[in-house]
Structure 1
């Protein structure tokens, strides 16, 4: 069930794509919602960012506020049972795009996160502490949760060159150390991509046929930051070369980071479609199941990195690197 809360001229409205009588009455004023998506800029980490499209309302929602306001606050939740069990999928500001006699269309927008780090800023600390400094420099973020970051936080040592957006700099740094982060409300969550957070075990009746594929393998990863061209090699010499920025000056630290990138990048990719009533994983969670549809049974583990929500059907497609045996 889709639950949409929107505040219009100071009044909270509860609406859905159907009539729902839960703890509150939810009116059927949602015509459609574009499917949101959450994804990483690279397969080895970065900011796991939510993107969304449009939400279309019935004009009835705005009976007391016509014409509809230019902007409204919107929160979209999903639940299979009760209001209390609802999970927030996306929240933010919606900007009016189109009005006609049968519908009102808004485009969902996420915060701009437009704060910048100045040229010449020096960082010499653990990844956890550096991320806390950079991300809490964004007005919308008050806390960085590092409970699922690497047990021994990697060392970061570099000086910025030119002004950079906090959010983009943070994304580049964490990806170089095979971490990701995502933002929920005013909290940023830092996650080690070499481990799993929560595990969702599925039976064969709780998912649709998965897919498995291999990217072209990475033969080597070369850093292009220090001027030393430190390079690490995989066991696939016939693959491609990847170049990355690094955020340390010591060869041993850089080599460890490059080796981790190779490991993540060369894992098999997997995707599976799951009813949202069964599981709504977060970035860094593990999806685990036995696939009995193949020629021989497979034991499958997927680390959740990409999320494609089909809210109208109550489905979610989860993709990430994994391992199959």
Structure 2
């Protein structure tokens, strides 16, 4: 059954209901009404009821969490919509903002701040004018239709979240099959590092580094990798970079090599013209920092 309407609560809006409605607006392109739902709304699967109604029934397109017990996992309306789309697990793994949004909406600001590891006062400092304006403008509406500028922005937000998660999953699957791991041992320095290497391909051409950090984390190698070697999106050759700013590499050490087009003075990245894996490994080797220099 085609969705005809999205209903969410009136009054103040929060990130979870705004983002949940953004996803649904992108998917269905139907009006959003900000009001209390009726029993008929909850019983009608052509109406999405979001963050209100005290019913969670994805088959009926009802996505409220307020009836969950006190000790339930911290799932908000956004979580429930993402689950219904089959995107929740990837979002939780690769969208760092999702878990704090869940904590803030379900546990309150004090507990959320503790779990994030920041002072309570810092939560307010993290709000930007974008957050304030969009939520205030969304709150002030009783109905938003596709011609409304706020509705159009919501569709953009929903589209970007969906596209990011779906393209990221495709990229992770690609990297699983194509990523190579290099062990680079530096002669005379008694040091070795691990590097992730990606060979040039049409798949990587537009954004070679997209998904690399998420892939390393998904593989559980975040403590093993120190360097990344990825195709240079701005020209021929490769980019050499630290992973998680590992201090075991300083690419300013290779700035005089003829293949090095650019090496940042702070040593965290270099651009090289060579495509030869053997030479790339040699450049990585020369960038390893001696233990006594760290």
TM-score relative to the length of structure 2: 0.23
Higher relative contact order (CA 8 A, sep 6+): 1
- The structure whose Rg is larger is 2
Hey, which of these two has a bigger chunk of strand by percent? 1
Hey, which of these two has a bigger chunk of helix by percent? 2
